[in-house]
Structure 1
Amino acid sequence: MDDQKADRHAGMYDPVSASLGERRRAGLHRTERKIPGEHDVDDAALVAQAKQGDHRAFAELVNRHRSKIEYVCLQITCNHSDAEDALQEALTAAWQNLDKFRGDARFATWIHRIAANSSLAIVKRRKPVDSIDAASEEFGILLEDPSAEFDDRLTTVDAVRRALATLPDDFRVAIVLAEFASLPYTDIAEHQGVSVATVKTRIHRARKKLAEILAPTMNS
């Protein structure tokens, strides 16, 4: 293993180990301005470069997907402090385990799964795991993604976050990965170790519960 790869496995990549505040001050929380033609570099090419120890390639991958990764962490942990911890753990895990990424799924799918795992691990450390029973209900009520109106409807977004916090962990992870990370049901099922039918049930129940909780907010 060369020095660059050793650094990756030792977790020595500064943009990953830095806090969100430090990354913001360093400008790493924003997607950097690109030179003409740089948009043509796809995730697969950047992953290949990052696997060789290219820190800048990994930083670009993180920048491309940062918003959704942070949002997944926040919606699962339901508070900013835990979300930051989950993000740090997710990015460090992704950097250290790049050699295990085979490319069977998109990089975005892979890192969203890592973010969900990191977030759920933090949630489980702070409270007992909720018990969940699966049932065969059909896919139902849709919940609009509040992120598009985040700036104009902070109150509503806060209400959504509080409502998400009331859901059992497995339900919350399923709906966050579906609604905010845009993962297909098959990927969520694989991630949660359940059938696609169970994922549909969890998402249906989560949406129905959220709709009930948020009805007063949406109608006000």
Structure 2
Amino acid sequence: MHVVPDRAMVRRVPIDGYRGTSQVEALHDMTDATLTAAAPVRNGGPPADSQVREVGSRPMPAPTFGAVVETIGNEIYRFAWQLTCNKSDADDLYQETLLKAFRAFPKLPADANHRAWFYRITSNTFISDRRKRNRENPLSEAHEQTLRAELPDNARAIDARDLLREVEVFVAKLPPKQRVALVLRKHHGLGYDLIADTLNCSEEAARANVHEALRKLRGQFADRLEG
């Protein structure tokens, strides 16, 4: 019987400081730093992209669920943290992802891409949860944005670390699909074909989600980097 790992199996590392230079480089560095804000550390090899590997002329059996989680668990937890931007929600998203994956694993095709499959489960779970929250609290996001807009300029972050935190908060407020697409593209380096597969949309729509997320980031923060 496989055992689903609990939250104690993963941990985070602190956010690195922001070190931007030019406006364009600073925005990209700031975005990258935000998306790489947390990384659980655990021993494990590179992601497994296939179920059966050849050793000489003899195929190895498909890995167990526990072996797959041991291999890519850190990466999936990091992805969950980047989507939620806080430990409690990341833990919940990671645990729910593992539970759904554990239940569906016996039916997974032998040649399935584990990494892409886990990304899809995590993304779908995150998007579904955010939509539910938005229905339950339709005014919360608009209220927070109004409060932030009313703060005087000198009360908002000028210090680099505070600015990084503002970017993190802003990215967390992006529409779920835009946030997922941005994280997968900017940090995890996925191609638009895999992003499209993860979001169950066309490659054109995947590109549009990434482009729109970056456009909003630039529009919100480019002027803050002047001087």
Give the TM interval when normalised to the shorter protein. Answer: 0.5 to 0.7
Structure number with larger C-alpha Rg: 2
User: Secondary structure of 2:41's match?
Assistant: coil
Q: Given that residues 97 and 121 in structure 2 are in contact (C-alpha distance below 8 angstroms), is that contact kept between their aligned partners in structure 1? A: yes
Residues in 2 aligned to 1:197 and 1:59: alpha-carbon distance in whole angstroms: 31
CA distance in 1, matches of 2:114, 2:203: 21
Residue 31 of structure 1, CA deviation: 2.5
- Aligned-partner residue type, residue 179 of structure 1: K
**1:180: Cα distance to partner?**
2.5
From 88, 96, 100, give the equivalent of 2:95. Answer: 88
The answer to whether the 8 Å contact 2:68/2:114 transfers is no
Report 1:176-191 matches (<5 A): 176-191=183-198
TM-score computed with the length of structure 1 as normaliser: 0.62
Check if 1:202 corresponds to 2:213: no
Q: How much has 1:86 moved relative to structure 2?
A: 0.5
Deviations 1:72-94 (A, max 9, x none): 22232343322211011112222
The DSSP-based 3-state class of the residue aligned with 1:194 is coil
* Deviation of the 1:164 alpha carbon: 0.9
Cα distance change, pair 111–216 in 1 and its aligned pair in 2 (3 A): same
Deviations 1:151-183 (A, max 9, x none): xx7545423321212322221122122223322
Q: Distance in 2 between matches of 1:80 and 1:218?
A: 29
Aligned to 2:220: 213
Name the % identity.
Answer: 27
Q: In 2 relative to 1, CA 211–92 (structure 1 residues): closer, same or farther, beyond 3 Å?
A: same
Counterpart residue number, 1:134: none
What stretches of structure 1 of length at least 5 have no aligned partner?
130-152
Q: Once superposed, what is the RMSD of the aligned Cα atoms?
A: 3.2
Task: Extract unaligned runs of 5+ from structure 2.
Answer: 12-39, 53-59, 137-159
The amino acid across from 2:42 in the alignment is T
Among residues 177, 185, 189, which one is paired with 1:170 in the alignment?
Answer: 177
Residue by residue over 1:50-69, the C-alpha shift from the partner in whole angstroms, topping out at 9 and shown as x without a partner, is 05xxx3x2442244xx1x32
Distance 2:85 2:9 in 1: 21
Q: Is the 8 A contact 1:75 1:176 kept in 2?
A: yes
1:24-35 equivalent positions in 2, closer than 5 A: 24=10, 30-32=41-43
